[in-house]
Amino acid sequence: MEWNVVYYEEIDSTNTQAKRMAKEGAEQGLVVTADEQSAGKGRRGRVWESPAGTNLYFSILLRPELEPDKAPMLTLVMAYSVAVVLRTQEGLPVEIKWPNDLVLEKKKICGILTEMELSGSQIADVVIGVGINVNTTEFPEELRDKATSLYLQKGEQVEREKLLQQILEKFRRQYERFLEIQDLSFLQNEYNQMLINKDREVLVLEPGHEYQAQALGINEKGELLVKKSDGSTEAVFAGEVSVRGIYGYI
């Protein structure tokens, strides 16, 4: 797969733009990136603040031959790829908060928003949007203990273009392996070593139902295995559930 990077100085949302271009027939491998987003989207209808000149915002378009219920695994493949790049290239001990976030010193540094379009019962396209706090020097008061940036952690600016290239290269290799194997067994152990939730008490937020459990790690399907208070183990599916710490975000 070849990447085809399209850059905008300003766009509403790179996810929205990638989805528009997908509808017009764009091929797998399209990467939409922008210096600034006027309507950056977070998960659960939240806004993703996207000022100019500082952070990395990009979305990739994939057209995988995959059962739709396996698509959420792609979010984990991306989280894993970004985490490995930030660890190896920037030397930062980034951890993964299953399934969508990356954290450093318990603060969020990256969020991922995956959107899937179906055609009948098959995947038409999957757009994976990634927002990384790169050169932010200061967060608003209300975010200061929840968010951080590469700059704040390293004390020096990071080049966004180079970071994007490294992530795309890493992701491409993992994506190809994933399509061959069709599960996450090839990265499961390494993923679990970077999993911040591991062994912690978490609140599992299922639609209409939440419960406390101990996170054990992901299985080969990317589900989070949790141990409930009655001793039984449950596999939590990444598509519709999220978790948070019992005392807060982690």
Question: What is the contact surface with ligand BTN in residues (CB under 6 A)?
Answer: 13-15, 37, 40-43, 46, 48, 57-59, 100-101, 111-113, 129-131
- Closest separation in Å from C-beta 95 to ligand BTN: 15
CB of 23 or CB of 46, closer to ligand BTN: 46
- Closest separation in Å from C-beta 41 to ligand BTN: 4
> Which token pair is 134?
């790169």
CA separation, residue 46 to residues 40, 41, 42, 49, 92 (Å): 9, 6, 5, 10, 27
CB of 37 or CB of 197, closer to ligand BTN: 37
Q: Which residues 6+ apart lie within 8 Å of 229 measured at CB?
A: 212, 213
CB of 186 or CB of 249, closer to ligand BTN: 249
- Closest separation in Å from C-beta 18 to ligand BTN: 8
Closest chain position to ligand BTN (CB):
111
CB of 100 or CB of 149, closer to ligand BTN: 100
Q: What's the distance, CA 26 to chain centroid? A: 22
- Closest separation in Å from C-beta 210 to ligand BTN: 19
CB of 64 or CB of 131, closer to ligand BTN: 131
Terminal-residue alpha carbon distance, the chain: 36
- Closest separation in Å from C-beta 111 to ligand BTN: 2
- Closest separation in Å from C-beta 132 to ligand BTN: 8
CB of 57 or CB of 178, closer to ligand BTN: 57
CB atoms within 10 A of CB 211: 13
CB of 35 or CB of 223, closer to ligand BTN: 35
- Closest separation in Å from C-beta 11 to ligand BTN: 9
Helices 160-181 and 72-90: crossing angle, nearest 10°? 130
Among 23, 35, 33, CA closest to 3:
33
CA distance 4 to 238: 28
CB atoms within 10 A of CB 64: 19
Q: Which long-range contacts (CB under 8 A, 24 or more apart) does 208-212 make?
A: 212/246
Q: What is the H or E stretch that residue 1 is in?
A: none
Q: Provide, for the chain, the percentages of residues in helix, strand and coil under a 3-state DSSP scheme, each rounded to the nearest 5.
A: 30, 35, 35
CA distance 20 to 185: 33
